[in-house]
Amino acid sequence: MSPADPPPDRLAPRDVLAACLHLIFPTPCPVCAGRLDLDRVSDLCGRCWTRLERMPTEGCARCGWPFPSSAAAGGTEAPLCQRCRETRDHFRLARAALRYRDEGIARAAILLAKHGRRLPLLRELGRLLAEEAPTYLSLREWDGVVPVPLHWARRWRRGFNQAAVLARAVGGRHGLPVLARALTRLRATPLQQGDFDARRRNVRDAFGVATEAGLAGRRLLLVDDVFTTGATADACAETLLRAGAAEVGVLTLARVE
Ligand SMILES: [Zn+2]
Ligand SMILES: [Zn+2]
């Protein structure tokens, strides 16, 4: 297998085994420990699924960060939050569907899907993102979706790239081509830590363009699971713009508070 040729998503044998065992020995909801009822959505009970924390639709014109209601707008048509007034991003806008907060259900669900390798749960979260994305941005403004790539070794260990699963859900629902191989990770980066500047240094020169086909002059929507400081999205956006993309937007499943 070459780094540019990742394997398709696969269900690990242990996932299949876990599903079979669940039929015999029902397990509780991994988030609230309640009973997994008929309303369950994949691994989550119906109550947790409906309580996934949503982002408000009003906020910073660039990153979508919610303003305290009294500070909203300030008289301008495109208000920017403090982060965006101080940061020169390469993406035009970034939006997320869920709020990722400590002790939150969305955070627990995403960590479970990603690190617990629950691909069916991740696909359900992708369906939610695809269904609710039009609340936050106009999908008609974009020509294609591009997942943030994982380093191939990490992808191999996990069995899937969560960003690619989400991008396929969004592209499939809205009729946008998924440019799954547009971006590639040139090196494995240490886990992102610290503020925007530290994270931006961490991913400097980490991304490259695998193929320039379909990028020139296109308006591309970058898709990832979590937006923290925006450093990873910014590095990817810069790479896409350098390869000729007309502009880059960012859509993530969740936004860290
Ligand atoms: Zn629950
Ligand atoms: Zn902002």
Residue 131 lies in a domain: no
pTM: 0.87
What three-state secondary structure class fits 84? helix
Question: Distance, CA 241 to ligand 2 centroid (Å)?
Answer: 20
Residue 160 lies in a domain: yes
Residue appearing with tokens 């991994």: 30
Residue 50 lies in a domain: no
Q: What is the mean pLDDT of residues 182-193?
A: 89
Question: Distance, CA 19 to ligand 1 centroid (Å)?
Answer: 17
State percent of the chain over pLDDT 70: 90
Question: Distance, CA 125 to ligand 1 centroid (Å)?
Answer: 15
Amino acid 12: pLDDT: 75
- Domain hosting residue 191, numbered range: 55-103+138-256
CB atoms within 10 A of CB 67: 16
Amino acid 1: pLDDT: 44
Number of independent structural domains in the chain: 1
Residue 129 lies in a domain: no
Question: Distance, CA 19 to ligand 2 centroid (Å)?
Answer: 41
Amino acid 207: pLDDT: 94
Question: Distance, CA 92 to ligand 2 centroid (Å)?
Answer: 11
DSSP per-residue string spanning 109-167: HHHHHHHTT-HHHHHHHHHHHHHHHHHHS-GGG-SEEEEPPPPHHHHHHHSS-HHHHHH
Question: Distance, CA 160 to ligand 1 centroid (Å)?
Answer: 25
Residue 159 lies in a domain: yes
CATH number, domain containing residue 174: 3.40.50
pLDDT class of 16 with cuts at 50, 70, 90: confident
Task: Give the whole-angstrom CA distance, residue 50 versus residue 54.
Answer: 10
Residue 77 lies in a domain: yes
Give pLDDT tens digits for 107-160. Answer: 999 999 999 989 999 999 999 999 999 999 999 999 999 999 998 888 888 999
Where helices occur in 11-81 by DSSP H, the ranges are 13-24, 46-50
Residue 7 lies in a domain: no
Task: Give the whole-angstrom CA distance, residue 122 versus residue 163.
Answer: 10
Residue 41 lies in a domain: no
Q: What is the mean pLDDT of residues 29-56?
A: 92
Question: Distance, CA 249 to ligand 2 centroid (Å)?
Answer: 13
pLDDT class of 71 with cuts at 50, 70, 90: low
